[in-house]
Structure 1
Amino acid sequence: MTTPISLTSTKMNLGLRQTEEWINDVLLPRADALGRLRFCLCLPHPLLPFGIRRIEATDMSVGAQNVWCEAGAVTGEVSAGLLAEIGCTHVMVGHAERRRLFAEDDRLVGRKARAASLAGVTPVICVGENERLGPAETVAHVRQQASTALRFLPVGAAAVVLYEPVWAIGSAQSAQPHQAAAVLDALHHAAPGHLALSVIYGGAVTPGTYSSLRRLAPWDGVALGRAAQDAAMLDDVLRELVGPARREPCRGT
């Protein structure tokens, strides 16, 4: 089996000092396992250079939480070219909060994904239903979101599609395994053949989530929320995804 992939977003929850403590105390001691997992930490824009410096000796990577869809004089936005220049490998586009608070639609998400891809940054396209729906409705809604955005990507582009039910974000309950598996399977089939696509699940991911879904459908990994910041829970997830983690000494600042 191909090694799963994983990412996490700290949103605006951690400041500079808290981010440093998290990287030093939780991530770096587990750098070997997280590197095998191709783990990407998505940070707020001001923290990106710091995060890139702190994990540069590992196989982890750093991604951004948002990007603008074109270059030029757009005050307050950040271009894909700049993200690539400072060393970002990934950028999230179309997260549920961006869609809700800033009215981002699937076409804008697609334009952002294309801009990232052309700059050499892998877009993480976020999709998911706002409320609990039946299996057929969920599949149709999420597949439409993904298909629209993926059509903007150039031939040969790499992309990650993150299926994260909006109602599960920050909650204690993930989607039902059979329903989530149906969505993940549909997303694999929604991708044009000219793309290198990975499909991952997020939303109340805890130890056991990956294994329960992996038995039901092909998918490529998980996006972690609180599990990435809780050392004990992260150890359990790592054992599930890549085997026992070899603890390493913390690297100095």
Structure 2
Amino acid sequence: MSLPAKRSAPGSVPPKAIAEVGGRYAEVGHAERRRIFGDDDDVIGLKTAAAYRNGLAPVLCVGEPGRGTAADAVRYCSREMDAVPNRAESLGQSGRTIVGYEPQWAIGAAEPATPSFISDVIRGLDAHLRSRPGQPDSPVIYGGSAGPGLIRQLDSGVAGLFLGRFAHNPAALRTILDETAERLGLLARTGATA
């Protein structure tokens, strides 16, 4: 009698396979993985270590479950930001990390968090991330109903957007890419138009 083969949860792709096809990033710690599949900080730390080991930059998702103050969000997310890399570092693995700030209450919502709230939280998370060893070039991006028009409302401290459902809509994605290029001054330099 043989045991059934161990199966990966849906959406699980080994980091080695991602690297072999030219991928450079691995999303770890998304709120839905935590909630549905039980990924805890230890599991996410192991996945982060595997990403580092395979030459990938992990996109570490962090976000508080309920609305509160920006200071509360920074405290909550900073604990997540510390637990995961600490676990990876305990295995001798470290590297550049991209933090995707996605407040759980904004994922799939009609509207994202307000631009001032996003900027305040990301400023705090950015300072915390840069205080960690080996993370001076690690950015913090925003996700959580991030769609067209949002990047124009955010200050330059927000390094970018982490797209969900709007990435599946070609018109919305084009608008977001044009807005991002405009923000970076790429459209003006190349003579392209939005």
Give the alignment's TM-score, normalised by structure 2.
Answer: 0.78
- 71, 77, 96: which one aligns with 1:136: 71
Q: For residue 240 of structure 1, what is the amino acid of its counterpart?
A: E
Closer/same/farther in 2, CA of residues 90 and 225 from structure 1, 3 Å limit:
same
> Percent of aligned pairs with the same residue?
34
State the distance in 2 between where 1:156 and 1:116 align: 9
Q: Does 1:220 align with 2:165?
A: no
- 104, 114, 117: which one aligns with 1:166: 104
Q: For residue 208 of structure 1, what is the amino acid of its counterpart?
A: G
Q: Does 1:96 align with 2:96?
A: no
Q: Does 1:148 align with 2:83?
A: yes
State the distance in 2 between where 1:148 and 1:190 align: 13
- How many corresponding residue pairs? 172
Q: For residue 134 of structure 2, what is the amino acid of its counterpart?
A: H
Structure 2 counterpart SS, 1:214 = coil
Q: For residue 242 of structure 1, what is the amino acid of its counterpart?
A: A
State the distance in 2 between where 1:107 and 1:94 align: 10
Once the two structures are TM-superposed, the CA of residue 175 in structure 1 deviates from its matched residue by: 0.9
Q: With a CA cutoff of 8 Å and minimum separation of 6, indicate the structure with the bigger relative contact order.
A: 1
State the distance in 2 between where 1:150 and 1:185 align: 20
- 96, 101, 108: which one aligns with 2:43: 108
Q: Does 1:229 align with 2:174?
A: no
State the distance in 2 between where 1:183 and 1:132 align: 12
Specify which structure has the higher proportion of strand: 1
State the distance in 2 between where 1:110 and 1:181 align: 26
- 120, 123, 148: which one aligns with 1:182: 120
- Structure 1 window deviating more from structure 2 (197-206 vs 144-153): it is 144-153
Once the two structures are TM-superposed, the CA of residue 226 in structure 1 deviates from its matched residue by: 2.9
CA contact (8 A) 2:52 2:93 kept: no
Once the two structures are TM-superposed, the CA of residue 241 in structure 1 deviates from its matched residue by: 0.6
State the distance in 1 between where 2:20 and 2:177 align: 31
State the distance in 2 between where 1:156 and 1:141 align: 22
| Superposition RMSD in Å | 2.4
CA contact (8 A) 1:210 1:241 kept: yes
Structure 1, unmatched stretches of 5+, are 1-73, 248-253
State the distance in 2 between where 1:82 and 1:178 align: 39
State the distance in 1 between where 2:26 and 2:65 align: 22
Match of residue 134 from structure 2: 194
Q: Which runs of 4+ in 1 moved over 4 A?
A: 153-156, 244-247
